Amino acid sequence: MSLNKVIFLDRDGVINYESDGFIKSPEEWLPIPSSLEAIAKLSKAHFTLFIVTNQSGVGRGLFDLKALEKIHHKMLTEITQTGGKIEKIYFCPHKPEDNCSCRKPKPGLYQQAAKEYKIDFSTSYVIGDSLRDIQSGLAIQAKTILVLTGNGEITAKSYKKELSQTLLAENLDIAADYLLNH
């Protein structure tokens, strides 16, 4: 049996505020208003949520895996306290030039999730704020939603042609409302 009603969320710019200097500590991780509530709504509607995130700050030496673990612990605690549930976090710690198979837009992390959880991508959604999030969603043949938080507005203006198959939503809460009503 495979999971349906699966949503893959990007982290920075979708759940929490984006930072050009990277989120390097739990103190720097700040949720975007209504994002945690959106995750709670989706969880209560029996969606299975995963986070898939590039974290090249690890590979660049800006923070280590222990710091990333603390950031994710804070995030998961706040999500749980709001009534949400994240099934698992998948992250790529590599720099872009490492040319790994797990860094978005490559689909390696999604393929890993599919193996572990028997996910049907054709009924899944990828929600992100950058072109690489959308490209990774299209690569696995999932449905895609670009949120206009984080880098989303710039992405929407710069890549109209590439986003022709992608739904645009003001933020994660609006995307959640769409998913709950369709």
Asked if residue 31 belongs to a domain, the reply is yes
Whether the pLDDT of residue 2 is over 70: the answer is: no
Asked if residue 92 belongs to a domain, the reply is yes
What distance in Å separates the CA atoms of residue 104 and residue 157, rounded to the nearest whole number? 20
Asked if residue 1 belongs to a domain, the reply is no
Report residue 1 CA to chain centroid gap: 24
Q: Which residue has the tokens 């990277």?
A: 22
10 catalytic? Reply is: yes
**Full DSSP string of 34-52:** THHHHHHHHHHTT-EEEEE
* Range(s) of the domain holding residue 126: 6-180
pLDDT tens-digit series, residues 11-20: 999 999 999 9
Q: Into how many domains does the chain fold?
A: 1
Asked if residue 129 belongs to a domain, the reply is yes
CATH number of the CATH domain containing 72: 3.40.50.1000
177 catalytic? Reply is: no
pLDDT level of residue 30 (50, 70, 90 thresholds): very high
Is pTM beyond 0.95 here?
yes
Peptide bond into 31 cis (omega under 30): no
Whether the pLDDT of residue 88 is over 70: the answer is: yes
**Averaged pLDDT for residues 94-122:** 96
Whether the pLDDT of residue 1 is over 70: the answer is: no
What distance in Å separates the CA atoms of residue 83 and residue 98, rounded to the nearest whole number? 37
Residue (of 110, 4, 90, 15) closest to 47 by Cα position: 4
pLDDT tens-digit series, residues 114-161: 999 999 999 999 999 999 999 999 999 999 999 999 999 999 999 999
pLDDT tens-digit series, residues 32-80: 999 999 999 999 999 999 999 999 999 999 999 999 999 999 999 999 9
Residue (of 141, 143, 108, 147) closest to 12 by Cα position: 147
Q: Which residue has the tokens 């690890």?
A: 58
Q: Identify the helix (H) or strand (E) that includes residue 167.
A: strand 167-169
